[in-house]
Structure 1
Amino acid sequence: MKSISTYFGISDSKFQLLLVGLLVFICGLTVDAQKKQHFQAANLLFEPRFNYGFLIAHHVEMEIYNGHFPSFEFSVARATYGKQQWESLYNYPVTGCTYWNAWLGHPDLGQAHAIFPFIRFPWLKTDKNELNFRLGAGMAYLTKKFDRLENYKYIAIGSHLNAAINLMVEYRWKPLNYLQLSFGIQLMHFSNGSTKTPNYGLNIPSLSGGAAFRLNKENSYIKRRIRPDLTRFEFDGREFLEIKLGTTFAIKETGDTDGKRYNIYSGFLSASKSLGFKNKLGLCLDLSWDGSDALLVARTNTDPYPARQLTKPGISAAYELVLSRMSFAFNLGFYLGGKDKSEGLSYYKAGIHYLISKNMFANLTLKTHFARADYVGIGLGYRFRWKYYLK
């Protein structure tokens, strides 16, 4: 029997490295928080949910799969209560992990299984009512994929293993101490980041309802006249410029019939300033080399040129949303050069940075051109603090 990694065309060792890296990013915050629960109750919530939605036909070829179908999920979550500084800054969010399952409404599409850690941010919050936003990111396994002979009409996804992104806005009502009822709208997205083509992706909006149960009394919020003790990863109120130097590696296909894969190497140097305990804003210099660019250039240019012209420098505005040792990074930038111009002059990056130590971090990055995914890559980096002084 073939291993799952053969569907990506990479070795088992590389596949395991990619999977472990992803799980470290998206699970680290929850694990780190749970380790610190020495004397308080676990503060756990158990929540089954029922969703009913449809598959968005965002390409003409997908219209044959129009239809409505249910999906189900089960979550184990932990409500924060102020043990760490970031918890109170974000109005005591909830972290957890969800299993999501659905038959996708057509025999060609099969079934989807997804597991994703999540964080649920309160927008509005009272003792009995909440308006929340949930963000989840993890892995999905789709039982059906594109096959040139057996499933050639299914042009949305070319691999069994995919990334899973979940967004949800919900209203939550707490009629009892041990019971919570919620209703909302969510979007589930599956994509492999062009590691295997085709990769139009699946987008599933749904109406959602659930009931969450507690097995013990909720911990009271820790309210202090002074802030909780800082961890070594958290901003301490001092002014400095943070310099980050990082690298990213990825593999992708271009969609050609030969199924050839191309390596991508990129690096970045960013300078940012903390706007407070939650946000950073700055500029980033990017440098990338994509092995598939030579193929794209050859379609319109037959003249010889230096290989260095395939390198693409760029500059981008950078923003980070910080949660202890993890941060969500967003960049909007423009290319300053490069031989290939087919993808346009602008690009967008979204990623997760996770501090392995005080200054070394791992990163998981999605790069896109407009609404089309270019690649998903992983890498390492190091941060420096420059001009560090007291206010």
Structure 2
Amino acid sequence: MNKCLFFIVLITCSYAFCQNKNIYFGVKQNFAELLIHKNEVSHLANYRIKGISAILETHTNGEKAWHPYYNYPNYGLILNYQDMGSPALGEVYSLSGFYKFFFLKRRVYLTTGLGLGFTNKRFDANKNPKNIAYGSSILANILFELNYRLTPDFNKRLHFDFGLFFQHFSNAKIKSPNSGTNHYGLQFGVSYNLNNSFVKNNRLDQKPNITVKPDVNRPFQFHFIVASGLNDLEILNTKPYPFFTLTALTEKKLSFVSSVQLGSDLFLS
């Protein structure tokens, strides 16, 4: 029941935003294995990992200068359910924002995603001592995908996708233990354009024409950044402590997408 509600939310939202845009809804199934990046997580790797994702996405349309420069990437949300196989790791639910960057006439794409996850089996010294990967219920989620997209001639609104993926879960060292997990594997899925009128973006089939030129002759720019966060001491049953960083840097623009920076950081904890 929970898994059904998990995907109904995304389907309902997709229709609300399906006006005057190509909105795609997709589903992917994946099968993976745990990557043993530390010896202490080897006892968690003797299980098969599987999951399913619901994807809601749309495309950029050239309104901004960087859209054609990066070949009109897609962007959206991925709602993911992952059965980590091991009884100690349990299940992880995650929500990520993502961008898709296309190559080879939009047949191949690279997905980069970042978001948050929730595990139902975090570490507990008494009830779940084997889970040294997740010290907290809330996790950070990092996702990479490399897929091939097949569009059949009989229905241009339909897409079939298959490829490779890599996913990372951890709590960013907010609470120990935090070995985290990395898993990789194969995935396949299908997506469909929900807009009945099928808003065609002719620019996607054209060679990008970059008309905006960077102002590389402008003087050096100076930036000051103040940031803060929480950090764990890697000792069980201890609270996280705040830290602060102060960054000062200078920047010189080289091109539309690149620049050179030089600066220093002050770290206080």
TM-score (normalised: structure 2): 0.84
Does structure 1 residue 138 correspond to structure 2 residue 110? no
Partner of 1:92: 72
The farther-off stretch of 278-287 and 156-165 is: 278-287
Partner of 1:71: 51
Does structure 1 residue 213 correspond to structure 2 residue 192? yes
Q: How many residues align?
A: 246
Partner of 2:20: 41
- Classify the secondary structure of the residue corresponding to 2:72: coil
Q: Which consecutive unaligned segments of at least 5 residues does structure 1 have?
A: 1-34, 291-391
Counterpart Cα distance in 2 of 1:157 and 1:187: 18
Paired amino acid for 2:39: V
**Conserved in 1, the CA contact under 8 Å of 2:176 and 2:236?**
no
Q: How far apart are residue 238 of structure 1 and its match? A: 5.1
Q: Superposed, which structure 2 residues align to 1:247-258 within 5 Å? A: 247-258=226-237
Partner of 2:261: 282
Counterpart Cα distance in 1 of 2:190 and 2:263: 43
**Conserved in 1, the CA contact under 8 Å of 2:177 and 2:236?**
no
Does structure 1 residue 239 correspond to structure 2 residue 218? yes
Equivalent of residue 55 in structure 1, options 34, 39, 50: 34
Paired amino acid for 1:220: N
Structure with larger RCO (C-alpha < 8 A, sep 6+)? 2
Counterpart Cα distance in 1 of 2:136 and 2:22: 38
Q: Deviations over 1:128-154 (max 9, x none)?
A: x52211100010001111111111111
Counterpart Cα distance in 1 of 2:151 and 2:215: 35
Q: Deviations over 1:95-154 (max 9, x none)?
A: 0000010121022111100000000111x232xx52211100010001111111111111
Q: How far apart are residue 197 of structure 1 and its match? A: 0.8
**Conserved in 1, the CA contact under 8 Å of 2:147 and 2:163?**
yes
Partner of 1:107: 87
**Conserved in 2, the CA contact under 8 Å of 1:101 and 1:111?**
yes
Identity of aligned residues (%): 26
Q: Superposed, which structure 2 residues align to 1:180-219 within 5 Å? A: 180-216=159-195, 217-219=198-200
Q: Tell me: CA distance 1:59–1:225, structure 2 relative to 1, closer, same or farther (3 Å).
A: closer
Counterpart Cα distance in 1 of 2:194 and 2:265: 49
**Conserved in 1, the CA contact under 8 Å of 2:69 and 2:210?**
no
- Classify the secondary structure of the residue corresponding to 2:71: coil
Q: Tell me: CA distance 1:240–1:226, structure 2 relative to 1, closer, same or farther (3 Å).
A: farther
- Classify the secondary structure of the residue corresponding to 1:254: coil
Equivalent of residue 128 in structure 2, options 151, 155, 171: 151
Q: Tell me: CA distance 1:225–1:75, structure 2 relative to 1, closer, same or farther (3 Å).
A: closer
**Conserved in 1, the CA contact under 8 Å of 2:167 and 2:182?**
yes
Paired amino acid for 2:125: R
Counterpart Cα distance in 2 of 1:57 and 1:44: 38
Paired amino acid for 1:69: I
**Conserved in 1, the CA contact under 8 Å of 2:215 and 2:253?**
no
- Classify the secondary structure of the residue corresponding to 2:68: helix
Paired amino acid for 1:219: K
**Conserved in 2, the CA contact under 8 Å of 1:120 and 1:133?**
yes
Counterpart Cα distance in 2 of 1:218 and 1:174: 16
TM-score (normalised: structure 1): 0.59
Q: How far apart are residue 240 of structure 1 and its match? A: 3.3
**Conserved in 2, the CA contact under 8 Å of 1:173 and 1:180?**
yes
Counterpart Cα distance in 2 of 1:173 and 1:75: 17
Counterpart Cα distance in 2 of 1:60 and 1:224: 49
Equivalent of residue 116 in structure 1, options 76, 96, 100: 96
Counterpart Cα distance in 2 of 1:174 and 1:208: 17
Counterpart Cα distance in 2 of 1:226 and 1:255: 52
Q: How far apart are residue 177 of structure 1 and its match? A: 1.5
- Classify the secondary structure of the residue corresponding to 1:114: strand
Counterpart Cα distance in 2 of 1:152 and 1:178: 48
- Classify the secondary structure of the residue corresponding to 2:20: coil
Paired amino acid for 1:269: A
Q: Deviations over 1:290-312 (max 9, x none)?
A: 2xxxxxxxxxxxxxxxxxxxxxx
Counterpart Cα distance in 2 of 1:206 and 1:178: 27
